[in-house]
Structure 1
Amino acid sequence: MEKTTKNGIHRITQAGGKTIAWAEESGVKVLEKDGYYFKDLAKTGELLPYEDWRLSDEERAADLAGRLSIEEIAGLMLYSPHQAVPPMPGGPFQGTFDGKTYLESGKEPYAISDQQKEFLEDEHIRHILLTNVESPEISAKWSNELQKRAETLPYGIPVNLSSDPRNGAKDSGAEFKSGGSEISKWPEGVGFAACFDPEVAGQFAKDASREYRALGITTALGPQIDLCTEPRWMRFVDTLGEEVEMSKKLTKAYCDGMQTTEGEADGWGKDSVNTMVKHWPGGGTGEAGRDAHYAFGQFAVYPTGNFEEHLKPFTEAAFHLDGPTDCASAVMPYYTVSYGVDKKNGKNVGNSYSEYLIKDLLRGKYEFKGIVCTDWGITQDPEKTIEGFGSRCYGVQDMTEAERCLLAITNGVDQFGGNSESGPIVEAYKIGCEKYGEKAMRERMELSAKRLLINIFHCGLFEDPYLDPEESAKIVGCEEFCRHGYEAQQKSIVLLKNSAKRAPEGQKGVLPLKKGLKVYIPERKIGPSKAFFRIDLPAKTEDPLPDGLPSKYGTRVASPEEADVALVFIESPACNPYSTEDLANGGNGYLPITLQYRPYTAKKAREVSIAGGDFRENFTNRSYLGKTNTAYNEADLDNILECRRAMGDKPVIVCATVNNPMVMHEFEAEADAIVAEFGVSRAAVLDVVFGGYNPTGRLPIQMPKDMDAVEEQSEDRALDMETYIDSEGHNYDYGYGMNYEGVLPAWKK
């Protein structure tokens, strides 16, 4: 046994037992029994079952759940809004400190805000969603402050910090940093699919779990395992692709890597991070590609009846892991109304409100025993306009908030994402007591409390929730993890075209470029657009390489005339799918989502939409047949065509950030080489362009022949588009890719 004290944290390391740690200021004492030490979290002077680390997590959770008041259970069922550490002015997520802004307060950046104190003390919240942090060290200190305060409160229930995916490399620079990064950088979700190697996702999860734990995070809001069979969906790039078998392999590798602590019999321990797989029953089938964050995109459709396949990443992977933790800890249903799926009750309501989807399928048929947590903000009253970014209580808008909570709870939901007020849940309990009886409601609430507490016990937080900030700074963004992430970025890049027409002597294609060339890189121009929160953004110009082209590659010049080669950075087309102007002019507001740059008129869209019906609309047909839309970033195409004209017989290389499948025929013939990437750093792209990495990635998607092919595919069916064949006869289908020597061998399942 070893006893240490550092920064006010006492720690006892026990041979053959659990390490325990507690804060001096919390008032917690230590109990000795049978030669071992335990924390007296309840401050009773006796060892209670939930304090006894020798018992199973299930036994301990059940004991503690039975001791909690309904108000305390309601707090466990909440999930805080996004928290930035510290909350800087101008950011979307604010907080105050003794009534002052962070900068006015003079507080340390790791100080707990007024709102966070209220979460813990008044609302009994123990699940907090972390967004931006100033540094790993600040995150660790803030986590410690939260845990200290939680330890002073009744029962000493620790805080379970969570995070959305935070390792994306998209905004990284043109130089690879081997260490000292804020966190290791990896491809986006579909980039893992482009590697065609589940071990890459597994390595990410192992590294990320270590980094998450060093930041204080014990729940990952991911992976996003929706089968993305609809190419226009704005969350396509975050998924693991649309091919079900590859998605299943990646899901298992990701969840096993995140949740497993090596050397623990059941897999749970100090390195474990709970995974919350999303989004049940699959969010990748939004009609015409619209997204359910917005009421105009609330409907998921299944035109070919392929609903069952979308369940498989959950039912055949996340719920049946290969590792010792057995099953993903939690599931998040999506906002969508899975239109026409409920044949039992015939109700088209948001997934969390569907008895059929949650109670009958998820809890019943598939026997999921973990946490079900709603997506963020579904219980409040709806926005007045269909375009608003607000509550998504689809199909249950006539209920009170408490009635909505009760409906979700009786279906089998345990937790409400983004809700920080316990009142509606307590009121739901009272309504439930009148409807089902107090005994039944108490049992149901305790069941959710037990599930929620098990995940906190799994990660060892009741014994030792405290971090060493100096060690956290060493772990997060360390050289080893950064190297692994960079290798994954390289592996995910797909070479689509490498023409021999302007290739140097001795090469089969124009790539790799020789180093030392003069390179022209045009700026990108993006027109007025809509932000994620539906805020109007002005037109802007951006430099694809704001830090310049590293000298090891060549010299950046100001015009095509001076250049030896043009390097054109583009992003896949993006547009606004809903227009209040169209609505005001007598239309229904719905526009086609275009995957091409030039104006697109939907001539082959459905004449009548599959789904429709909202209390804010006096029609049900959401068709956009005959309407036209144009990409915000149409000028990306102009850059390619203008470079081709200006460069004459000199090469033009296109580097495409692919957020969605894209129509290639507008520019492919004008490019000598096309490099596709899925959210990686400029440095990784330049490595492929200049010979630092011979590409191995393959398309994890299909590139459509044209927009007609997009309209003719089915939202629920994978790999059913007519694909693009380029000017050299290569088919941009799933699994296609090239290296410097030519086309990669055909991919086989």
Structure 2
Amino acid sequence: MTGTSLSPAISSSTDIDVRARTIVERMTVAERVGLLFHPMIFVGSPVEVDQPSPLGPSLRELIVERGIRYFCLGAIPPVAHVREALDDLQALARSTGSRLPIVFSTDPRHSFVQNDGASHRADGVSQWPEPIGLGAIGDEDLVRRFGEVVRADYRALGIRMALHPQIDLATEPRWARQAQSFGADPEHSARLVRAYLEGLQGAHLGPESIAATTKHFPGGGPQKDGEDPHFVYGREQVYPGGRFEDHLVPFRAAIEAGTAAIMPYYGMPVGLDLHGERIEEVGFAFNRQLITGLLRERLGFDGVVLSDFGLVTDATVFGKPFPARAWGVEHLSPIERVRRLFDAGVDQLGGENDPALVLELIDRGEIDTARVDASATRLVRLQLQLGLLDEPDGDGRAKAEGDAAAGGADGFVASPEHIALGIRAQSQAMTVLAEREGILPLGPELRVHLRDLAPAAAPAGWQVVAPEDAEIAVVRVGAPFEPRDTYFLESSMEQGSLAFDTTVVDGIRALAERMPVVLVVTLSRPAILTPLADMVAALVGDFGAGDAAVIAALTGEVEPVGRLPFELPRSMDAVRRSSPDVPSDTEDPLFPIGWSARGGSVRS
């Protein structure tokens, strides 16, 4: 395709699939294969295209020599410089090889959790509660508006693909990834994903859209013992309650709503029978029964299937080992794993950057060019749907609102309206779990002892004082987890027990013996609050909120309307006895799903 036009002389009424196939036919085999890779990159300002990355080759090698045109952005410059940096890379891509533009993707960037393999703390964009907080609010209009905000910000930055929404059901209370989901209820999650996709993509995928990658098919929640499958000890997903179909409900909704792409999860199903057929115990992306048989044929999905990242190649990242998540096929060589992934029905390899593996399989006759062309055509079709090949600069970026917003005042791409909406949503998502009469809302003039809350967040009438001088204490704690740090990413995954350490409980008890305590718990996962519930004057959950947003909810400046998007178990014994695939089934939960002390439980 070198030296040819990206847009063949075809009338605008011609079917987009025909146009995509025509473009692919004009590409060399190597250029087609380059489309099948979607590595992560780190971008600085200025862009260092010839500098090797901690993740591997230089940007020039990836774009020019390997022909890769889809990249996930990890680290990025301050927002004022992102557009300029990405434009430089676009110019390089459009001057060489296939001349196709780059599609830049990203994990979520609008909340609080910083995890280099899952999400980024908001920086230069509006900051909202974690998606689990939007699940707590349960307002489809607000979720749709959030999707529109994300769309505007990404377009302003030159990002055209989102590696979200994450719609796994939070059915195993110990699982580390619940904060990015909408909750445990299948139908509730389905309603919210429809709204989110309407906001992010629009009614139809088009030049104004951000392409959504809905994940993690067929549902990542049922992890054995709640362990995460980024790591070998968490590779098994189990279904002792027989509820596999529950986890498909949000994905059916996403497919009906037109999600551009779907990402299978790392986990491998253990002991799963589906329609009378035993499912092979290999990672979901390696599983032809689930990718081709279920997703493609039974559910009718014809968009892009992008594998989760790092299924082929063992790596060491920042000095930490990170074995390939090739669960069930660990014994296979990297090239054999690649063949299994494409045999299963995957279109694009997330986190991988070596097209030579596919080219060798073609030379061996183990993958034919028709199979490569099918995936390459889907990927070019996505670029066409996004309008990337029909604009003079080829990046499909916003021309009016987005250009004006990029790198705006104070280094923000977000508008003041969007910033205010996000902060308000942080407060709204907060859930009052228990309160003694007359405690909330907190009054305008108090002598308050604050613990793990910034004094600057206190209202003008409050005096922030030491415990011995206070009439009330407001304490903030995070949900418990067991710190681990053997593998890359492990330290930022909240895994293990949900029970508070006795030192935390004793410290709150000592404070509660002196004065009323308002306890705010960040529910990035369902904490065991049983030892604390009776000793505090008010118990409130947040799902990602700044200190000022917490105080606004506690004082009634913004009404906390959240309801629990998952249940809070009474004990770890109850968690261990529950079924990982069954929503809200721990014995005698302390607080049931849908609970708020302001109105009881309304969601089952």
Using the size of structure 1 for normalisation, the TM-score is 0.72
Q: Which amino acid aligns with 1:457?
A: L
Unaligned 5+ runs, structure 1: 1-40, 88-94, 103-112, 172-179, 262-266, 322-326, 501-508, 523-543, 581-591, 599-633, 726-731
Q: Which residue of 2 aligns with 1:341?
A: 272
Q: Which residue of 2 aligns with 1:80?
A: 39
Q: Which residue of 1 aligns with 2:197?
A: 255
Matches within 5 A, 1:426-437: 426-431=359-364, 433=365, 435=366
Q: Which whole-Å CA distance do the structure 2 matches of 1:276 and 1:399 have between them?
A: 28
Does residue 595 in structure 1 map to residue 528 in structure 2?
no
Does residue 571 in structure 1 map to residue 478 in structure 2?
yes
Q: Which residue of 1 aligns with 2:490?
A: none
Query: Judging changes above 3 Å, is the alpha-carbon distance between structure 1 residues 675 and 351 closer, same or farther for their aligned structure 2 residues?
Result: same
Pairing partner for 1:545 from 448, 453, 473: 453
Q: Which amino acid aligns with 2:557?
A: G
2:80–2:413 contact (8 Å) kept in structure 1: no
Q: Which whole-Å CA distance do the structure 1 matches of 2:129 and 2:379 have between them?
A: 31
Query: Judging changes above 3 Å, is the alpha-carbon distance between structure 1 residues 427 and 238 closer, same or farther for their aligned structure 2 residues?
Result: same
Secondary structure in 1 matching 2:374? helix
Residue 342 (structure 1) shift = 5.7
Query: Judging changes above 3 Å, is the alpha-carbon distance between structure 1 residues 407 and 181 closer, same or farther for their aligned structure 2 residues?
Result: closer
1:335–1:351 contact (8 Å) kept in structure 2: yes
1:630-649 CA-to-partner distances (Å, cap 9, x unmatched) read xxxx543233122113x2xx
Residue 345 (structure 1) shift = 6.3
Query: Judging changes above 3 Å, is the alpha-carbon distance between structure 1 residues 292 and 361 closer, same or farther for their aligned structure 2 residues?
Result: same
Q: Which residue of 1 aligns with 2:440?
A: 511
Does residue 554 in structure 1 map to residue 422 in structure 2?
no
Secondary structure in 2 matching 1:156? coil
Query: Judging changes above 3 Å, is the alpha-carbon distance between structure 1 residues 746 and 702 closer, same or farther for their aligned structure 2 residues?
Result: closer
Q: Which residue of 1 aligns with 2:21?
A: 62
Q: Which residue of 2 aligns with 1:330?
A: 261
Q: Which residue of 2 aligns with 1:719?
A: 584
Q: Which residue of 1 aligns with 2:345?
A: 412
1:49–1:55 contact (8 Å) kept in structure 2: no
2:6–2:389 contact (8 Å) kept in structure 1: no
Matches within 5 A, 1:599-678: 635-645=503-513, 647=514, 650-678=515-543
Q: Which residue of 2 aligns with 1:540?
A: none
1:655–1:674 contact (8 Å) kept in structure 2: yes
Q: Which residue of 2 aligns with 1:460?
A: 387
Q: Which residue of 1 aligns with 2:176?
A: 234
Q: Which whole-Å CA distance do the structure 1 matches of 2:497 and 2:528 have between them?
A: 9
Matches within 5 A, 1:308-323: 308-315=245-252, 317-321=253-257
Secondary structure in 2 matching 1:227? coil
Secondary structure in 2 matching 1:496? strand
Larger Rg: 1
Pairing partner for 2:334 from 401, 420, 425: 401
Q: Which amino acid aligns with 2:336?
A: E
Using the size of structure 2 for normalisation, the TM-score is 0.89
Query: Judging changes above 3 Å, is the alpha-carbon distance between structure 1 residues 482 and 270 closer, same or farther for their aligned structure 2 residues?
Result: farther
Q: Which amino acid aligns with 2:247?
A: H
Residue 701 (structure 1) shift = 1.0
Residue 231 (structure 1) shift = 0.7
Q: Which residue of 1 aligns with 2:234?
A: 297
Q: Which amino acid aligns with 2:541?
A: A
Q: Considering only aligned residues, what root-mean-square deviation do their CA atoms show, in Å?
A: 2.8
Query: Judging changes above 3 Å, is the alpha-carbon distance between structure 1 residues 565 and 660 closer, same or farther for their aligned structure 2 residues?
Result: same
1:118-142 CA-to-partner distances (Å, cap 9, x unmatched) read 1110111111111333332311111
Q: Which residue of 1 aligns with 2:492?
A: none
Q: Which amino acid aligns with 2:406?
A: S
1:202-241 CA-to-partner distances (Å, cap 9, x unmatched) read 1100111011111111110011011121111011111111
Query: Judging changes above 3 Å, is the alpha-carbon distance between structure 1 residues 379 and 411 closer, same or farther for their aligned structure 2 residues?
Result: same
Query: Judging changes above 3 Å, is the alpha-carbon distance between structure 1 residues 642 and 579 closer, same or farther for their aligned structure 2 residues?
Result: farther
Secondary structure in 1 matching 2:19? helix
2:428–2:559 contact (8 Å) kept in structure 1: no
Q: Which amino acid aligns with 2:460?
A: K
1:210–1:271 contact (8 Å) kept in structure 2: no
Q: Which whole-Å CA distance do the structure 1 matches of 2:556 and 2:165 have between them?
A: 32
Residue 421 (structure 1) shift = 1.5
Secondary structure in 1 matching 2:92? helix
Q: Which amino acid aligns with 2:127?
A: K
Q: Which residue of 1 aligns with 2:374?
A: 447
1:362-420 CA-to-partner distances (Å, cap 9, x unmatched) read 1121121011111110012589xxx9532111111222211111111121100011111
Q: Which whole-Å CA distance do the structure 1 matches of 2:485 and 2:255 have between them?
A: 37
Residue 430 (structure 1) shift = 2.7
Q: Which whole-Å CA distance do the structure 1 matches of 2:499 and 2:562 have between them?
A: 23
Q: Which whole-Å CA distance do the structure 2 matches of 1:234 and 1:426 have between them?
A: 37
Residue 651 (structure 1) shift = 1.7
Q: Which residue of 2 aligns with 1:744?
A: 599
Q: Which whole-Å CA distance do the structure 2 matches of 1:271 and 1:493 have between them?
A: 33
Q: Which residue of 2 aligns with 1:624?
A: none
Q: Which whole-Å CA distance do the structure 1 matches of 2:519 and 2:278 have between them?
A: 52
Q: Which whole-Å CA distance do the structure 1 matches of 2:484 and 2:199 have between them?
A: 37
Does residue 694 in structure 1 map to residue 562 in structure 2?
no
Q: Which whole-Å CA distance do the structure 2 matches of 1:114 and 1:304 have between them?
A: 45
Residue 745 (structure 1) shift = 5.7
Residue 579 (structure 1) shift = 9.4
1:37-69 CA-to-partner distances (Å, cap 9, x unmatched) read xxxx9644897247x655443222111112222
2:31–2:98 contact (8 Å) kept in structure 1: no
Residue 723 (structure 1) shift = 3.8
Q: Which whole-Å CA distance do the structure 2 matches of 1:304 and 1:46 have between them?
A: 51
1:499-544 CA-to-partner distances (Å, cap 9, x unmatched) read 02xxxxxxxx20111123222123xxxxxxxxxxxxxxxxxxxxx3
Q: Which whole-Å CA distance do the structure 2 matches of 1:49 and 1:240 have between them?
A: 45
Does residue 124 in structure 1 map to residue 124 in structure 2?
no
2:51–2:59 contact (8 Å) kept in structure 1: no
Matches within 5 A, 1:186-201: 186-201=128-143
Residue 181 (structure 1) shift = 7.3
1:338–1:348 contact (8 Å) kept in structure 2: yes
Pairing partner for 1:478 from 415, 439, 446: 415
Q: Which amino acid aligns with 1:744?
A: G
Does residue 275 in structure 1 map to residue 134 in structure 2?
no
Does residue 733 in structure 1 map to residue 596 in structure 2?
no
1:54-91 CA-to-partner distances (Å, cap 9, x unmatched) read 5443222111112222211221111122424349xxxx
Query: Judging changes above 3 Å, is the alpha-carbon distance between structure 1 residues 470 and 72 closer, same or farther for their aligned structure 2 residues?
Result: same
Q: Which whole-Å CA distance do the structure 2 matches of 1:550 and 1:667 have between them?
A: 24
Q: Which residue of 1 aligns with 2:354?
A: 421
Secondary structure in 2 matching 1:675? strand
1:439-472 CA-to-partner distances (Å, cap 9, x unmatched) read xx11111110011111111111112326575542
Query: Judging changes above 3 Å, is the alpha-carbon distance between structure 1 residues 551 and 345 closer, same or farther for their aligned structure 2 residues?
Result: closer
Q: Which amino acid aligns with 1:562?
A: D
Q: Which residue of 2 aligns with 1:588?
A: none
Q: Which whole-Å CA distance do the structure 2 matches of 1:490 and 1:128 have between them?
A: 34
Secondary structure in 2 matching 1:719? coil
Q: Which residue of 2 aligns with 1:182?
A: 124
Higher RCO (CA < 8 A, seq sep 6+): 2
Q: Which whole-Å CA distance do the structure 2 matches of 1:511 and 1:520 have between them?
A: 16
What number of residue pairs does the alignment pair up? 574
Secondary structure in 1 matching 2:75? strand
Deviating 4+ runs (over 6 angstroms): 577-580
Query: Judging changes above 3 Å, is the alpha-carbon distance between structure 1 residues 579 and 159 closer, same or farther for their aligned structure 2 residues?
Result: closer
